[in-house]
Structure 1
Amino acid sequence: MGLFSDLNKKLTENIYAHGSYLTDPSADLPRRVAETVDLLMPFIQPDAREDVRLQILGIVHEHIYDEPESGLADSAADE
């Protein structure tokens, strides 16, 4: 049982340390994105603000634009 107990402890610590990335859509977004979304919240009805905030951050997280690596951009420009 010691092996399973140690494994369970390590998994639990890992979930506590990194679990927000699984539940918080803005966890790996730049802080500026979350701040900008927060600036929009006064235009949203108070009872819906948290739901709308999470939806917007989820959409941004899903469709975030990452700069292509320089090697990939150069090869695409050659075509």
Structure 2
Amino acid sequence: MGLFSDLNKKLTENIYAHGSYLSDPSADLPRRVEETVDLLMPFIQPAAREAVRLEILGIIHEHIYDEE
């Protein structure tokens, strides 16, 4: 059982450390982008704000490019 316990512990630590990148579209976006999207939310119906916010952040995350 020791091998599986160690593996489970390592996997759990990895999910906690990096899991937000899988579930949060804005996790690796600059804070400025998230703040700008939040400024648009008063123009969205209250019931749809969170869904629209996540959709916008997801689109930006999908199409962002790094300038190197």
TM range (shorter): over 0.9
| Residue of structure 2 equivalent to 1:59 | 59
Q: How many residues align?
A: 68
Identity %: 91
Structure 2: tracts of 5 or more residues without a match? none
Structure 1: tracts of 5 or more residues without a match? 70-79
- With normalisation by structure 2, the TM-score equals 0.95
- With normalisation by structure 1, the TM-score equals 0.82
| Residue of structure 1 equivalent to 2:35 | 35
What RMSD over aligned residues (CA atoms) do the two structures have, in Å? 0.8
Alignment of 1:1-79 (within 5 A): 1-67=1-67, 69=68
Find the residue that maps to 2:65 and give its secondary structure: coil
Structure showing greater relative contact order (alpha-carbon pairs closer than 8 Å, 6 or more residues apart): 2
The runs of at least 4 consecutive aligned structure 1 residues that moved more than 6 Å come to none
